Amino acid sequence: MKKILTLCFIFILMPSVSYSLEKSQDYELTQVLILSRHNVRAPIIYENILTRATNKAWPIWHTNNGNLTTKGRQFEINIGSYFRSWFDRKGLLRQDKCPDSKNVYVYANNQQRTIASAQSFITGAFPDCLVKTFYRSDMSEGEFDPIFASVITDNSEEFKRQAKSAMTEKLAHLDLAEAYKQVSMILDFKNSTLCKKDKLCDLVSYPNTMIISAGKEPLVFGPLGLATNVVDVFDLQYYEGFATNDVAWGTISTPEQWKTLNKIKNGYHAVAFTTKIVASNIAKPLLKYINLHFVQRRKIEGSKLLIMFGHDSNIASVMSALDFAPYQLPEQYEKTPIGGKLVFQRWHNKKTNKDYLKVEYIYPSVNQLRNGTALTLNNPLKQVTLSLKNCPIDGNGFCHWDDFEKSMQQALKDKVFVD
C-alpha cells in the first residue's frame, strides 16, 4: 500500500502534467513579463564600512564598485541562451526569425549592472538580432529611474510611524542570533575598529534603527545593515569564483553555514522591502508600469515579451505588494537570487476564450553561478511555480486572469493606514 501511495504522489508531482496542459491545443502562451535581477556584480561598499568591521584584508575586486563583472556578463549570456530555448518550447516567438520591437521590449534600470545584464541577456537570447535595451540616459550618475527606484514616496508622519512600527515588529520575529555570532567570528569583530573605537562590539544585542525618509530607500541601520553588507560580499565572492581561501577567508565550508549566514540578508530584505505597508508604497511605480503594459496590454511594442532588469528590492517589494504566498527556492540561499527572474505568463484558452496567469521563479542555483556552466536541458535553470494569495492556482499552477487583475488593482489602491 505504501508503495502505491508513493507512486501516486510522485505522479502528482511530475512536471509532465503541467507540460501536457501548456501544450494542449486549447492553451496558447500569448504574453510574458520577466522581472529580472541583474547578474553577478562587484560589492557595493559604503563609506569603507567593511574595512572598519574587520582587521582582515578584504580580497581585491577588479571591477568597479557595484558594476557587473565579466563573469556576470558571461553567465547572463548563458541565461539568455537558455531562455531562448524556453521561449521556443513554449511557442512564444517564431524560431525562424529575429523578433522586432512589436514582439520584444527590454527595459533596464539606468545602472551599469542592470544595463549590462540586459545587453548580455539579449546577446544570448537573440544573437545577431537588432534587439535594443531601453534605459533612461537623461538622468545623472547614481540617480535611479523612478520606475525601479525602491524609495519612499509618502512623507506623512503617520506613514513613517506605521512603517517603522511594522518593520520593527517584523525584525522582532527573526531569529538571527546564531547568524550574527558566525559573522562576528568570521570578521574577528571584537578586534575591529567598529568595536574598539565606535563601541559596536555585540551584533546580537546592539539595537537597530529603522529609517524612513521620502525619496530614499527604507533602511535598517545597525547590526542588521552591517551584517547584510558583509554576507553580500561573501555571496558575491562565491558567485564570482574566488578561490576557496578568499571566500570569507576560507571560513565557510558547508551549505548549512551559507544558509545560516543568508538568514541575515534575507531578513534585511524582509524587513526593509517586504513589510506590507512599505512594499505597497515603494513598489507602486513599478506595479503601475506592469499593470499598464502587461495586465492592461496598452502598449503596442513588446506585446508578446517584456523583460525588465532591476534589483532584488524590486522583486521583493512587488511580490509583497501583490501578496505572493510564501515560497522556497531549492539549491539557493537567497530569496531573490542573482540572475533570478520572476516570470509572469498570460495563457489563453481558445476553447473557453479565457485568460489565465502562471508565475514561475526561474533562477540559477548557487553551484551554477559559481561554476558558470552552460545551461542546457540537461543542466537547466531551477524553476518554482508561485501563487498569489488572492489568485488560487490549480494543479498546473494556473489562476484565473480576472483574479490576478483584482490582486493588481488592490495593490494599486491608495494607502490605507492600519489601526
* Positions marked catalytic: 38, 312
Give the Cα separation of 291 and 308 in Å (integer): 13
For residue 346, what is the enclosing H or E element? Answer: strand 341-349
Alpha helices in 91-222 (DSSP H): 112-125, 157-172, 177-187, 193-196
Q: Which three cell numbers stand for residue 268?
A: 534585511
Whether the Cβ atoms of residue 270 and residue 320 lie closer than 8 Å to each other:
no
DSSP track, 17-80: HHHHHHHSTTEEEEEEEEEEE---B-----TTHHHHH-SSPPPPPSS-TTPBPHHHHHHHHHHH
User: Residues 388, 325, 412, 173: what is their CA dihedral angle, to the nearest 10 degrees?
Assistant: 170
Q: Which three cell numbers stand for residue 350?
A: 481558445
Contacts of 22 (CB under 8 A, 6+ apart): 29, 90, 347, 396
Q: Using CA atoms, how far apart are residues 101 and 297, in angstroms rounded to an integer?
A: 15
Dihedral-angle region of residue 109 (phi above 0 means left; psi in -120 to 50 means alpha; beta otherwise): beta
CA torsion, ordered 138, 99, 312, 178, to nearest 10 deg = -150
